[in-house]
Amino acid sequence: MSTALVILAAGKGTRMNSDLPKVLHQIAHAPLLVHAMRAGSALVPERHIVVAGHGADLVEAAARAYDETAEVVLQTEQLGTGHAVLQAKEALGDFAGDVIVLYGDTPLIRPETLEAMIAARATCDVVVLGFDAADPGRYGRLVMSGDRLDRIVEFKDATEQERTITLCNSGVICASREALFGLLDRVGNDNAAGEYYLTDIIGLARDRGLSATAVTCEEAETLGVNSRVELAAAEAAFQSRARLSALEDGITMPAPETVHFAYDTIVGRDCVIEQNVVFGPDVTIESGAHIRAFCHLEGCHVSQRASVGPYARLRPGAELAEDVRVGNFCEVKNAQIEAGAKVNHLSYIGDATVGARANIGAGTITCNYDGVFKHHTEIGRDAFIGSNTMLVAPVTIGHEAMTASGSVVTMDVPDGALALGRAKQVNKAGLAVKLFDMLKSKKKKQREDAE
Ligand code: UD1
Ligand code: MG
């Protein structure tokens, strides 16, 4: 059975106190909307439809950036969740399959939960995702008769007795396209909020002899974000989950609570991730690599057995091959560091290729930017770059070549050559002692004059 996702994302999110539409606020470096789309993607949906309203252009751009086949339909007035889903009716046309409705502001739903809903659809016409709420507050309540879901009553419309129900509506709902829109066409807005409630389709389904049931999940999965406080709580929940799964996947973390993952971080088995490591988006760490304390990584690839940090920064385009070492206070950007090469101390390597087994001395800088253009530095295999070398790009250092410490290298260095690019040293015999004597007597005279 094919599925289509309909993600509700038209709301403004007034309580975010923000110019940005609510669903574009991020956790783990991805918009809330993308988290919902990713969870839904596990079902390999045929269609991804996002219902946008506030900031629709921005919402559309974010949806397309994640999935270029995503379709965005407009809900110009927010007349309720039922009305929102109806905006997808035309786009879905005669799609023959199941529709899953998700909320764009609910980022923690697990793919397994959605799969359980699809499984329940095999024997039931409409499936709702419910949860047992610690504090049911203003959630819609699921009115059950055994396994059968009779209706959903919104808090505002509920009787005192119905309000004692703790099984609540998460908002996620699944039905065939035909049943969903057949039922939605009959939903009115004669209720306490004057809105078209999606939840009314359950009562209507029963009246038409269709069956409905609820699948349940942990309350944590249904956490919706309405404020910055809830955004921070969702981030914390995401991180706890990501850390736990990393530990289960065979990654050693002595202080997992200090490691921050991005939504798409990939870390291989038997890696060690030390304290206070922060992952930005698009990072892959292969198995057996060691990321020491206080590193910041984004848009980079670290191969097997490589070692990074402590205190290193890998920026987009940093490619570390097997057994590479990048040490403390080094920054690598848009550079390939080939197998076994070492960049161990206080270096900036940007727009460069560093050959296999090359050694980059402390304080080496690739001077890649002339203020307008970026230029490339090529360093050959087994090259030895002396400490504090300034490599003024574009420049090529040959295989097995050397640069003398403190050199400013502006010309290409042939294979096997030594480049000396610094002022020649001169020693003046006895001059240091003379200079000290002169300075000391000057200081003494100053003190005497002051007294
Ligand atoms: C809804 C459910 C309630 C459930 C709760 C869970 C209904 C009628 N009620 O209530 O049973 O317990 O969610 O959080 O469905 N949206 C639109 N367009 C609209 C209205 C809403 O896109 O016209 C979007 C919102 O941006 C939001 C989501 O739909 O992402 C839910 O809307 P919201 O107004 O928060 O519904 P609740 O009143 O919380
Ligand atoms: Mg809500």
Superfamily of domain 3-222: Spore Coat Polysaccharide Biosynthesis Protein SpsA; Chain A (3.90.550.10)
The CB-side HSE value for 56 (13 A sphere, CA atoms) comes to: 14
pLDDT of residue 409: 98
Q: What is the pLDDT of residue 139?
A: 95
Mean pLDDT of 110-118: 96
Residue 342, pLDDT > 90, answer: yes
On whether the CB atoms of residues 323 and 341 are closer than 8 A, the answer is no
SS3 content of the chain, % helix, strand, coil (to 5): 25, 30, 45
Q: Is the dihedral of CA 22, 28, 33, 39 positive or negative?
A: negative
What is the average pLDDT value for the chain, to the nearest integer? 97
Residue 116 has pLDDT above 90, yes or no: yes
Residue whose pair of structure tokens reads 């047992």 in the numeric block? 132
How remote is the CA of residue 171 from the centroid of ligand 1, in Å?
Answer: 7
Quick one: pLDDT band at residue 199, thresholds 50, 70, 90?
very high
> Does the pTM of the predicted model rise above 0.85?
yes
Residues 304, 65: Cα–Cα separation, whole Å: 30
Question: Given the CA of residue 140, which atom of ligand 1 is nearest to it?
Answer: 11
- Please say if the pLDDT value at position 147 is more than 90: yes
Q: Which atom of ligand 1 is nearest to the CA of 22?
A: 26
Other C-beta atoms closer than 10 Å to the C-beta of 245 total 11
Point out the catalytic residue in the list 29, 345, 375, 376.
345
Domain 228-419 sits in CATH at 2.160.10.10
User: Tens digits of per-residue pLDDT, 152-171?
Assistant: 999 999 999 999 999 999 99
pLDDT band at 444 (very low <50, low <70, confident <90, very high): very high
Name the pLDDT band for 1 (thresholds 50, 70, 90): confident
Q: Which helix (H) or strand (E) holds 284?
A: strand 284-285
CA of 330 to the centre of ligand 1 (A): 48
Model confidence at 328, pLDDT cuts 50, 70, 90, reads: very high
- In the chain, CATH 3.90.550.10 sits at 3-222
User: Given a cut of 90, is residue 372 above it in pLDDT?
Assistant: yes
Enclosing H/E stretch for 274: none
Average pLDDT over residues 74-81: 96
Tens of pLDDT, residue by residue over 262-309, are 999 999 999 999 999 999 999 999 999 999 999 999 999 999 999 999
Percentage above 70 pLDDT, the chain: 100
How much is the pLDDT for 12? 84
Cβ neighbours for 318, distance < 8 A, ≥ 6 positions apart: 297, 299, 300, 301, 332, 333, 334, 335, 337
CATH 2.160.10.10 location in the chain:
228-419
Nearest atom within ligand 1 for CA of residue 170: 6
What sign results for the dihedral spanned by CA atoms 437, 441, 444, 446?
A: negative
Give tens-digit pLDDT for 85-96: 999 999 999 999
pLDDT at 120: 97
> Is 376 a known active-site residue?
no
Mean pLDDT of 389-409: 98
In the predicted model, what is the mean pLDDT of residues 122-148? 96
Torsion of CA 79, 81, 86, 92, to 10 degrees: 140
Q: Which residues of 140-162 are buried (b: 16+ CB within 10 A; e: fewer)?
A: bbbbbeeeebebbbbbebbeeee
For residues 150, 155, 160 and 165, what is the CA-based torsion angle, rounded to 10 degrees? 50
Ligand 1 binding pocket mutation candidate from 76, 101, 103, 172 (most atoms within 8 A of CB): 103
Determine the distance separating the centroid of ligand 1 and the alpha carbon of 103, expressed in angstroms: 8
Contact (Cβ atoms closer than 8 angstroms) between residue 409 and residue 390: yes
